[in-house]
A and B are shown apart, each in its own frame.
Chain A
Amino acid sequence: MIAVEKITKTYGSSVVVDGVSITLPKGGVTSIIGPNGAGKSTLLSMVGRFLSADSGTITVGGLDVTKTPSDELAKRLAVLRQDNHLAVRLTVRDLVSFGRYPHSKGRYTVEDERHVNEAIAMLGLSGLADRFLDELSGGQRQRAFVAMVICQDTEYVLLDEPLNNLDIKHAVEIMRLVQQAARRLNKTMVVVLHDINMASTFSDVIVAMKNGQIVASGSPAEIIQPDLLSQIYETEIKVVPVGSRLVAIY
């Protein structure tokens, strides 16, 4: 369970996250949606202890993120942020191996090696494992970073816009993987998404944010509603049921 209580973050005079309180259930996929500048990434950064909140508390699996030692938290919580530029030259395998650092502190065991190989295979990177990251396409690189996070093997995983740079095939694959990790391995996946239809299709819970506040949260059926979405995105959005899903058209 991730419990966010009255979290506020301001930059100068602008309030980015405004007294947000929300409890995300353990297990399952939670998507956070909302327009640019809604405070989604900022909220995620505070849960991932990259940013400190001005006020309020956040606990992940009962651990207060500001008080728990960072290396302890890294065994429970993995986070992938948006900007993944690296100054060093690494192969895919090098990068994915870093996911084991919280557990092994640099002394890699056979067990770690197994995790690395599994994560690489899971993201379909086996053929690219020994290539340098700067030799890969944006989408392949993005998948390598997701593999690193998967390799960290934590109960809680936060992904900030993991579908950036990905084509439809790979975007769907990543979302399936997120769903599988939640279903099969009972992990708690929290994903910031821009694509409402991805959120509608793959989430158990959707949280909608706007202007630093949570506008609504609930099942996809509750959130993917024309009036609600039109109001959030300030754009006329229609919702059409296709099979068992709801598809937003804009």
Chain B
Amino acid sequence: MLPEVRRKRVRAIVALLSVLTVIAMVAFMTLGAKGSWSFILSFRGAKLAALVLVAFSIAVSTVLFQTIMENRIVTPSIMGFDALYVLLQTVLVFAIGAGRLSAMDPFLLFLIEAGMLMLFSNLLYRWILAGAARSPHLLMLVGIVFGILFRSLSSFLQRILDPSEFLILQDRMFASFNAVDTSLLGIAGVVVAIVTVIILRMLPVFDVVALGRNHATALGVDHNRTIMFTLALISVLIAVSTALVGPVTFFGLLVANLAYLILPTSRHAVVLPVATLIAVVTLVGGQVILERVFAFDTALSIIIEFVGGLVFILLVVRGAAR
């Protein structure tokens, strides 16, 4: 494809998605509004901000994860990252009690959780990926097993937890796109802003890393260090999205692969914003349609997971897992 044609097509895609994003946001803020505008705008505004942060975190973390894994069907959540986040929450409630946990500074708590996630991703990388076993199938299998382990441990601990503590925990964990935890918005916003600045500076490095270890090394990129650092960024983003709405498995896979599908280029400077826009349109737009048009309440995550799961199966069948 000629460079000019590609540039035009990228511009058209970005323009179209931007328009859709604005429409979705405006609809989200205004449709079906009854009563005081100042209340509606601040209430819905906080929710919208949370959805946008979640969309960004999931889209960017998935694309970057697939870049460093050189594989377009693994995602951080398939590898058990957010199951670990839930386990961390459970262990925290179990160890120090929900009451004291609630009294803790949410910022400090978030930092601890994000830090633990980083530690885990680091270990995971050292144990599995740095060794000779670079097979994506083994990798996914290990990830899925880790995920099951984390989930089973969580549910075991939840079973022996005091019922009232469990209620509080459930409230923290099973947030959905509907019941966003807006108390963490400020921290999440700051964290996402910092991560964005770092990512912007690293865009060309990601393009090189996507070529794989050999080519990246030959072109002078310290592959191991870049991957470790990127995994840390991904951990932070997962912590943000899981803290705000709880674990989502297939959403990242869906938006990342849609972005690859419609874009004629693999440059991260294009893929990351487009994947983010698709994620925002899907989340915000989906929420509007479900809440306002069909008047359903809890189904968006189910529908997204359903479609995402179908895409996952399709990708496996089509052999994208090579």
Contacts and interface: CB of A to CB of B under 8 A. Distances in A.
A90 B221 contact: no
A84 B213 CA distance: 10
Interface in A77-132: 78-81, 83-91, 93-94, 98-99, 101-102, 105-107, 130, 132
B219 A74 contact: yes
B69 to A, nearest CB: 8
A180 B72 CA distance: 40
B219 A105 contact: no
A70 interface: yes
Nearest to B207: A106
A149 B215 CA distance: 10
A74 B218 contact: yes
A85 B214 CA distance: 10
A88 B266 contact: yes
A39 interface: no
Nearest to B220: A74
A101 B210 contact: no
Interface residues of B, number: 26
B217 A101 contact: no
A112 to B, nearest CB: 12
A6 to B, nearest CB: 24
A78 B218 contact: yes
B219 A85 contact: no
Nearest to B222: A70
A152 B218 CA distance: 10
Chain A interface residue count: which class? Answer: 35 or more
Contacts of A81: 214, 218
Interface string B45-73: 00000000000000000000000001110
Contacts of B220: 69-75, 101-102
A194 interface: no
B219 A87 contact: no
A50 interface: yes
Contacts of B266: 88-90, 94
B201 to A, nearest CB: 10
A114 to B, nearest CB: 15
Contact of B219 (A50, A101, A107): A101
User: Counting chain B CB atoms within 10 Å of each CB, which of A48, A81, A87 scores highest?
Assistant: A87
A87 B70 contact: yes
A49 interface: yes
Given A87-B71, A101-B204, A79 B211 contact: no
Contact of A87 (B1, B3, B72, B217): B72
B316 interface: no
Given A86-B211, A88-B211, A70 B217 contact: yes
A99 B216 CA distance: 10
A87 B221 CA distance: 18
B207 A87 contact: no
User: Counting chain B CB atoms within 10 Å of each CB, which of A78, A86, A101 scores highest?
Assistant: A101
B44 to A, nearest CB: 39
B104 interface: no
Contacts of A71: 220-222
Contacts of B205: 106
Given A101-B204, A106-B207, A87 B218 contact: no
Contacts of B70: 87
Given A91-B1, A130-B2, A49 B204 contact: no
B265 A98 contact: no
B233 interface: no
Contacts of A149: 218
A106 B221 CA distance: 12
Contact of B204 (A69, A74, A91, A106): A106
A122 to B, nearest CB: 19
B237 interface: no
A50 B214 contact: yes
User: Counting chain A CB atoms within 10 Å of each CB, which of B71, B215, B218, B322 scores highest?
Assistant: B218
Interface string A127-155: 00010100000000000000001001000
6 contacts: A74-B218, A86-B212, A87-B72, A88-B210, A94-B265, A106-B205
Interface of A: 48-50, 69-75, 78-81, 83-91, 93-94, 98-99, 101-102, 105-107, 130, 132, 149, 152
